[in-house]
Structure 1
Amino acid sequence: MLVDNGVHGDSRVQKAARSAAVAGWDVTLLGRSPDGEPRRWRLGRAEVRLLPMGGPSTGAQARRRRAVAALGGLRRPVELAYTRFWSVAMRERAWRRLEPSLWQYERAYGPVVDALDPDLIHAHDFRMLGVAARAKLRARDQGRSVKLLWDAHEFLPGIKPWRDNVRWLPAHRAHEREYAPYADAVVTVSDELARLLQAEHGLTERPAVVLNAPDLTTPSTTAGPGEAGPSAAAGPGDAGAPGGGPVSLRERCGIGPDVPLLVYSGAAAPQRGLAVLVEALPALPDAHVAFVVNRPDGDYVQGLVRRAAELGVADRLHVGGYVAADEVVPLLAGADVGVIPIEHWPNHEIALITKFFEYSHARLPIVVSDVRTMAETVRRTGQGEVFRAGDPADLVRAVRAVLADPGRHRAAYEAPGLLESWSWPAQAAVLDRVYTALLPDRPAVSLDGGGQA
């Protein structure tokens, strides 16, 4: 299993590796070391290895310098012309000129994948697709059959580029187009994304859907020597309550049980729309807001803290870090409302995101911006209210509606089978069926022994 991150905080990848190993597959999860040092630990029955990443090759750097010199420094209009030229000249292979740093992944992961000699490679998202496809081709050249499962987390054409240059998205789209045909099966996170992927890449079959649903049945990650568990990214003061248990959300905020509490849990970035919550606080004089975020000390979050001080509501905004994966839902359950204020980006419109399911299992009424799929779901189930993205006044209206009758919204979770269908065991069963279809002849395994994947 391959992923382009350090595994820490990536709940989908952790759940997939753990549940596949429980089902009897022999799982090694390869990720990217954040500090250049190799790391290893156990994730349930799965092994996790983080690989050091080198810099761009000398050849790639030299080619880039020559191109920059030839085009006068790649100012934005010239860079656009450069991008268009190579996109036309090399088509799917254009990423080699536009984003040669993608070769870093091949150099870091490729030899390790080959040494593992897998029967199945589960490639998470678009950067790992190329690594997996090239490993499949090398194995074929040596007379071995390797199946490739591509797990598409997002619709690449609708993503916000991770770097502010015109090359990033065309390069990664070309890379994805080159290697998508080598996937033997595709899974993704929503029905809408499955439809888009099938159209984008001419897939003969609609990708199977594996939702980003929480797993409430497993404990925190088992860490190796000297390792903090990859999910355990709690902030200062979150180590535990005096009695030995985890600190509750209201204890983190220093408020009592009767204070209205709104929570946002997840990554903190401008497109996530957190600013609207701060702007709404003056009109919700009794309410407090808790952010449970990946970078509580980051520039974006600290800018929101300063804005809260300007508005005179800093004492009602509480910022903390992530907690262990199995503590997320119990932590969120201490709030009155779960808020998803994300703004209108194509990928935000097409899926139910992880926090949607976490809020649901915490049985929180959800206040969500009017991004299509989540808004439609909330309206259909009655589990919350919808507001216009980026509109503080409309957010205030929606929050007041929920706080006026929380029981009506919480009752939606009593619908037979709803939360069960939104849980990880149901998704793990889908994933195991995909694995088994790809490798139908694998030997039977005992859960106390190794598998063949």
Structure 2
Amino acid sequence: MLVDNAVKGDSRVQKEARSAAAAGWDVVLLGKSPNKKAQNWQLGEARVRLLPVATPLHRRRHEYRRAVLRAPLAYPPGPLAEYRKQRMKAWRAELNLRVIEAGRSGSGTASTRLWPARVLSRGMGRWVRLRARHTAALERRRKEMDGPLDRFTTAFWVRAMGERAWRRLDPGLWDLELAYGKVIDALEPDLIHANDFRMLGVGARAKLRAEAKGRTVRLVWDAHEFLPGIKPWSPHPRWHIAQCAHEREHAKYADAVTTVSASLAEMLAEHHGLQDLPEVVLNAPDTVIPPDRAAEPVPDLRALCGIGPEVPLAVYSGSAAPQRGLDIMVEALPRLPGSHVAFIVPRANSPYMQSLKARATVLGVRDRVHVLPYVPHDQVVRHLAAADVGVIPIHHWPNHEIALITKFFEYSHAGLPLVVSDVRTMGATVTATGQGEVFTAEDVEDYVRAVTAVLADPGRYRDAYTRGDLLGEWTWEAQAAVLDRVYSRLVEGPPAPAARRMTRVAP
């Protein structure tokens, strides 16, 4: 099983690895080390190995070369510009000190002799600063790549190389291949489960190498998102083009595709011309606790916020980014007297979270905004259950419209009334089930209306979870069975399921 992160923050991958191992598969989960050091641990019966990934190819080739025609005054790429600036400052400081020493000794002649050097240092300083400005401007242009020459070269490589253009547009994808490839080959797997678009290429190339040696390896591609519709993770204008080309090149090597929603399955089948519709494995939470985790205490959400049970508390749990719309929860607080919000996010001090805290300070509600760390994925539901409202304020992006995301299921199993933006799939589901309120994305006034309605009569929305079997299929156990069937269909002689002794979750 392959993933391009450090595993611990990825609940889907952890659940996949743990449940597959519990079903009898010999699972090795390869992830990316966050600190350049190899790490190993057990995740239930699955083995986790984090690999150090060197990134010299992260910078494009032209970033290592001088731009003699575009910026003739710029310094060569690297630390030379900063070195020159610092060296000139040191020279000026030294000359000033020598003048002071000459004054103390009463030597006017020495001070006069230093005058030419001081004039030269000022001139040289201006020259160095000029070249440093040209260097900084060149670096900005190379990052933005919005000039006519940049647009031409990008279009040229796409036209000339097609799906293979990612090799020129984002050669950093090779860094992942060079870190994972030999490890995969040494394991000699029968099946490779590649999570998301960057690991798809790594898994496909490992499959091809194995087949060249006479071994049959099956590849499962687990598509978490519709890549053409995502907000790019990187601001570099070539990044998204490269990732899409990389995915198109390698999708044809997948023996089976799984994904997170029926809508996304149809979009993937059409976009990549897949013969079979991908299997849907929802991002549903565990409803049972593995024996090795059952005794672990669950952090008290309200205690971490420093509030009692009577205080209204809205919670957001998940990745934090502008397109997630978290700012609306802060902006609304002055209109929701006494209410608090909790953000449970992977990086409490990220620039985005810092901006939200700064805005809360300006609005005078900083004491009602709480930024908390993740808890283990098998504690999330119980941790969230102490809140009054689960909020999903995401903006309208193509990828946000098509799936019920992880936190939707986590909030549901925690029994929380929901307040969600009017993205297509989640908005329609909440309207149909009656488990919450839908508001117009990015509309503070409508968000306040929705939260106010939920807080006024929470029992009405919580009752939706007791009608019928709303949560029946929204469990990881049901999804794990789907994944196990996919594996068994691809690999002959599937293992006998291992015994699973679990403790059921009670929010």
Query: What TM-score do the two structures reach when normalised by structure 1?
Result: 0.90
Number of the residue aligned with 1:97: 168
Kindly provide the amino acid, as one letter, of the partner of residue 30 in structure 1.
L
Q: 1:412 to 1:173 in 2, by over 3 A?
A: same
Question: Which residue of 384, 392, 397 maps to 1:332?
Answer: 384
Are 1:76 and 2:136 an aligned pair? no
* Residue 55 of structure 1, CA deviation: 2.1
Q: Do the aligned partners of residues 327 and 89 (structure 1) sit closer, same or farther apart at CA in structure 2, a change above 3 Å counting? A: same
Aligned to 2:42: 42
Counterpart Cα distance in 1 of 2:358 and 2:418: 26
> TM-score normalized by structure 2?
0.81
Question: Are the aligned partners of 1:332 and 1:362 in contact in 2 as well (CA < 8 Å)?
Answer: yes
Cα drift, residue 343 of structure 1 = 0.9
Tell me how far apart the structure 1 counterparts of residues 437 and 67 of structure 2 sit (CA, whole Å). 51
Structure (1 or 2) with the larger CA radius of gyration: 2
Partner Cα separation in structure 1 for residue 228 and residue 186 of structure 2:
34
Query: Which whole-Å CA distance do the structure 2 matches of 1:129 and 1:318 have between them?
Result: 37
| Aligned position for 1:7 | 7
- In structure 2, the residue matched to 1:323 is 375
Decide whether the 8 Å contact of 1:42 with 1:221 is kept in 2: no
Alignment check: 8 A CA contact 2:23 2:498 kept: no
Among candidates 243, 252, 257, match of residue 186 of structure 1: 257
1:18–1:46 contact (8 Å) kept in structure 2: yes
Counterpart amino acid of residue 336 in structure 2? L
Task: Return the alpha-carbon distance in structure 1 between the equivalents of residues 352 and 177 of structure 2.
Answer: 33
Name which of structure 1's ranges 205-214 and 259-268 shifts more when overlaid on structure 2.
259-268
Give 1:108's match in structure 2, choosing from 176, 179, 189.
179
Output the CA distance in 1 between the equivalents of 2:498 and 2:370.
47
1:298 shift after superposition: 1.9
CA separation of 1:281 and 1:414: change in aligned 2, threshold 3 A: same
SS at match of 1:419: coil
Residue 103 to residue 251, structure 1, CA distance change in 2 (3 Å) = same
Say if 2:170 is the partner of 1:170.
no
1:87 maps onto 2:153 in alignment? no
Report the alpha carbon displacement of residue 108 of structure 1 after superposing the two structures with TM.
0.4
Q: What CA distance in whole angstroms lies between the structure 2 residues aligned with 1:68 and 1:445?
A: 61
Equivalent residue runs for 1:305-316 within 5 Å:
305-316=357-368
Alpha-carbon deviation of 1:43? 0.2
User: CA contact under 8 A between 2:22 and 2:498: conserved in structure 1?
Assistant: no
| Distance in 2 (alpha carbons) for counterparts of 1:174 and 1:370 | 31
For residues 70 and 424 of structure 1, the distance between their equivalents in structure 2, rounded to whole angstroms, comes to: 58
Alpha-carbon separation, structure 1, partners of 2:409 and 2:42: 26
Match of 2:47, SS state, is: strand
Task: Give the aligned partner of residue 397 of structure 2.
Answer: 345
Query: Deviation at 1:273?
Result: 0.6
Q: Is residue 175 of structure 2 the alignment partner of residue 123 of structure 1? A: no
Name the amino acid aligned to 1:330. Answer: R
Question: Which amino acid is 2:180 matched to?
Answer: Y
The answer on whether the counterparts of 1:159 and 1:347 sit within 8 Å (CA) in structure 2 is yes
Structure-2 change in CA distance of 1:419 and 1:2 (3 Å): same
Give the Cα–Cα distance (whole angstroms) in 1 for the partners of residues 240 and 313 of structure 2: 39
Out of 295-304 and 122-131, give the one that drifted further: 295-304
CA-based RMSD of the aligned residues comes to 2.1
Distance of aligned partners of 1:447 and 1:80 in 2 relative to their CA distance in 1, 3 Å threshold: farther
Q: What CA distance in whole angstroms lies between the structure 2 residues aligned with 1:68 and 1:175?
A: 28
Shift of 1:423: 0.7
Q: Deviation of residue 299 (structure 1)?
A: 1.9
- Could you say which residue in structure 2 is the equivalent of 1:146? 217
Deviations 1:229-271, CA, capped at 9 Å, x for gaps: xxxxxxxxxxx9xxx9433111111111111111111111111
The amino acid across from 1:429 in the alignment is A
Matched, 1:407 2:456: no
Structure 2 distance, partners of 1:446, 1:32, is 28
Report matched runs for 1:265-304 at 5 Å. 265-304=317-356
| Alignment partner, residue 156 of structure 1 | 227
Give the aligned residue type for 1:302. Answer: Q
| Structure 2 CA distance for aligned equivalents of residues 348 and 106 of structure 1 | 29
Equivalent residue, structure 2, for 1:441: 493
Determine if contact 1:6/1:33 at 8 Å carries over to the other structure: yes
Aligned residue among 384, 401, 416 for 2:436: 384
SS, match of residue 262 in structure 1: strand
